Amino acid sequence: MSKYSIFSLIRNAGSYHENWQRAWRSPDPQPEYEVVIIGGGGHGLATAYYLAKECGIRRVAVIEKGWLGGGNTGRNTTIVRSNYLLDESAGIYEHSVKLWEGLSQELNFNVMFSQRGLLHLAHNVHDMQEIGRRGNAIWLNGIDSEFLTPEQVKEMVPLMNINGRYPVLGALLQRRGGTARHDAVAWGYARAADALGVDIIQNCEVTGFDIKNGVVQGVRTTRGDIKAKRVGVVTAGHSTVMADMAGFRMPLESLPLQAMVSEPIKPCIDTVIMSNAVHVYVSQSDKGELVVGAGTDAYISYAQRGGFDMMEHIMGPLVELFPFTSRLRMLRQWGGIVDVTVDRSPILSKTPVEGLYFNCGWGTGGFKCTPGSGHVFAHSIANGEMHPIAAPFSIDRFNTGALIDEAAAAAVAH
């Protein structure tokens, strides 16, 4: 892998950029690998990269039905944070943020991880109690966490209306939170994994598993059968489709999630802002687009599109919180399929089939954990035992009741 730098850029300019190497090869699948990863999104590619880099397993294939990073990796609102309430969540998300902090250098690919800070706004007494609890929990987990007054919020985001229908009473700030360039994460991991010998096989769809006596032997694909004693499934919205092929159930629903961007404008919002009570989250991309996320539709759909009402529901809140946006225009909206668990926490787990591992259930928030999830999942597959950070996210929790319920912990009632 030839190194990217300002110098390589200047050198290649001299030869009209004709000597750049391919970022990754397009190999044909081999008959057998040590590990097959199904799903060429960020999490799958990261898993392959860490298997090769840290676990000494280089005979790895990543099998992707379409194009790399084409699922939720390329469709999310790129928010990165680790300000989670519960210890288990803080464990995995903070592990991830720490990896983010060196990722551009690690991959020699600028993923534009921008630690511009992330604000959770509190608009009522219940919100204040919620951020109070979470802010302290985060801080005591050794993660950066600050409480802001409404005046401090206004100073950080001068264009915010803090005296609207639901006035801003305070905010929780994680300065190390921010955004990253989503495509670059997939490409960076793909290029680095490829350089370590990982075969990345695009346009190859898995059609079934070869399972004997409860042990996985390999996968069947549209490009032939591939043997592997260990298979990691990282297919987000299609995880239950994979589970059905393997003959077991996964507690997931695949729901449409939409987002949108505005036309690009000069910088006007310098942090990420999330508001549960007003129902909007927004940031501004480096290109200048305001990136705004909507909620999930409540019905299962694999259509990668959602209803207009979900978009419409965030327009009022957006204009309420940021009155200046009224005259801006929506440039593009799109949808993805998110795989949602009952407790809104992911599943990183062994399965009833030996050698078959699942990494799914990231719901609306998987992008931020791309490095962390890939890292602990790789170690879990390599060692045959779930990594301690991943262990609480086992599928067994739905039997024992040991849910990791971030959503319920913020439940609204009075």
Partner 1 sequence: MAQKNRLPDGGRIDRTKPVRFQFNGKRYDGFSGDTLAAALLANGVSLVGRSFKYHRPRGIMTAGSEEPNALVQLGTGARTEPNIRATQAELFDGLSADSQNCWPSVGFDIGAINSVMSKYLPAGFYYKTFMWPASLWMTYEHVIRNAAGLGKGPTESDPDRYAQHHTACDVLIVGGGPSGLAAALAAGRSGARTILVDEQSEFGGWLLTDDTEIDGMAPTDWVANTVKELAGLDNVTLLPRTTVSAYFDHNFLTAAQRVTDHLGPQENTKTPRQRFWKIRAKQVVLAQGSLERPIVFADNDRPGVMLAGALRTYINRYGVLPGREIVVFTNNDSAYRTAIDAKNAGAVVHLVDLRPDPDNPVVHQARQAGIQIHEGSAVVGIKGAKSIHGVEIAPLSEDGKSLAGPTFVVSASLVAMSSGWNPSVHLFSQSRGKLRFDDALTTFVPDHTPQKTRSAGACNGTFTLAGCLAEGMEAGAAAAKDAGFDSAIAGPSHVVKEDAPGSMRQVWTVPTVHPLGKGTRKHFLDHQNDVTAADVHLAAREGYLSVEHLKRYTTTGMGTDQGKTSNVNALAIMSEIRSASIPEVGTTTFRPPYTPTTYGAMAGQGVQELFEQYRGTAMHDWHVNNGAVFEDVGDWKRARYYPKPGEDMDEAVRRECKQARETVGIMDASTLGKIDIQGPDAAKLLNMVYTNAWSALKPGRARYGLMLNEHGMVFDDGVTTCIGENHYHMTTTTGGAARVLNWLEEWLQTEWPDMEVYCTSVTEEWAVATLSGPKAREVMEAVAPKMALDPQTFPFMAMQEGEVAGLPARVFRISFTGDLSYEINVPARYGMALWEALMEAGRPHGIVPYGTETMHVLRAEKGFIIVGQDSDGTVTPYDLDMDWIVSKKKDDFLGKRSLTRTDTARPGRKQLVGLLTEDPNFVLPEGAHLVKEVKPKPPMDTIGHVTSSYFSPNAGRSIALALVKDGLNLKGSSFQVPLMSGHVETVTITDTIFFDKEGERARG
Partner 2 sequence: MLQITCPWCGEREGIEFHCHGEAHIARPENSAEMSDAEWGDYVFFRKNPKGVHYERWTHDAGCRRWFNAIRHTVSDEFIAVYKPGEAIPELPEKYRDPASNRTGAPQSKETK
Diameter of the chain measured on Cα atoms: 68
Binding mask 120-139 for partner 1 (x = CB under 8 A): ---xxxx-xxxxxxxxxx-x
Q: Alpha-carbon distance 189 to 304, whole Å?
A: 24
- Please say whether the beta carbons of 256 and 297 come within 8 A: yes
Query: What is the per-residue burial (b if ≥16 Cβ within 10 Å, else e) of 27-49?
Result: eebeeebbbbbbbbbbbbbbbbb
What three-state secondary structure class fits 47? helix
Residues 209-238 binding partner 2 (CB under 8 A) are 238
What is the DSSP track for 142-203? T---EEE-HHHHHHH-TT--TTSSS---EEEEETT-EE--HHHHHHHHHHHHHHTT-EEE-S
- Residue 213 contact, options partner 2, partner 1, none, Cβ 5-8 Å cut-off depending on partner type: none
Q: Is 216 helix (H, G, I), strand (E, B) or coil?
A: strand
Smallest separation (angstroms) from partner 1 to the CB of 215: 27
Closest distance to partner 2 from the beta carbon of 37 (Å)? 21
Between 73 and 254, name the residue whose CB sits nearer to partner 2.
254
Restricting to residues 384-403, which ones interact with partner 2 according to CB under 8 A?
A: 398-401
Contact indicator for 336, 304 with CB cutoff of 8 Å: yes
The least CB distance from residue 364 to partner 1, in Å, is 18
DSSP state of 9: H
Selected binder of partner 1 within 245, 265, 300, 391 (CB under 8 A): 265
Q: Which does 402 bind (CB under 5 to 8 A by kind): partner 1, partner 2, none?
A: partner 1
User: Binders of partner 2: how many residues, by CB under 8 A?
Assistant: 24
By the 8 A CB rule, do 376 and 317 touch?
no
Q: Of the candidates 240, 258, 262, 283, which one interacts with partner 2 according to CB under 8 A? A: 240
Binding to partner 1 in span 141-180, by CB under 8 A: 141-143, 145-147, 159, 161, 164-166
Q: Which stretch binds partner 2 (CB under 8 A): 19-27, 94-102, 249-257, 378-386?
A: 249-257
Number of residues that bind partner 1 (CB under 8 A): 119
Taking CB under 8 A as the criterion, the residue among 23, 162, 196, 300 binding partner 1 is: 23
Q: Which of residues 282-311 bind partner 2 (CB under 8 A)?
A: 298-303, 307-309
Q: Specify burial of residue 319 (Cβ count, 10 A radius: 0-12, 13-18, 19+).
A: middle
Binder among 130, 253, 289, 320 for partner 2 (CB under 8 A): 253
Please provide residue 24's backbone torsions phi and psi, each rounded to the nearest 5 degrees: -155, 155
The answer to whether 406 and 85 are in contact (CB under 8 A) is yes
What is the C-alpha to C-alpha distance for residues 190 and 103, in angstroms, rounded to an integer? 13
Residue numbers 334-373 binding partner 2 by CB under 8 A: 342
Work out whether 196 is an interface residue with partner 1 (CB under 8 A): no
253 binds, among partner 2, partner 1, none (CB under 5 to 8 A by kind): partner 2
Residue 299 makes contact with partner 1 by CB under 8 A: no
Distance from C-alpha of 151 to C-alpha of 412, rounded to nearest angstrom? 26
Q: Does 242 bind partner 2 (CB under 8 A)?
A: no
250 binds, among partner 1, partner 2, none (CB under 5 to 8 A by kind): partner 2
Is 51 in contact with 380 (CB distance < 8 Å)? no
The token pair at 326 is: 């009224």
Question: Site residues for partner 1, window 329-358 (CB under 8 A)?
Answer: 329-334, 342
Cα distance between residue 388 and residue 310, in whole Å:
38
Nearest to 229 by CA among 242, 217, 212: 217
Residues 90-109 that bind partner 1 (CB under 8 A): 102, 104-105, 108-109
With CB under 5 to 8 Å by kind, the binding choice for 215 among partner 1, partner 2, none is none
Binding site for partner 2 (CB under 8 A): 238, 240-241, 244, 249-254, 298-303, 307-309, 342, 398-401
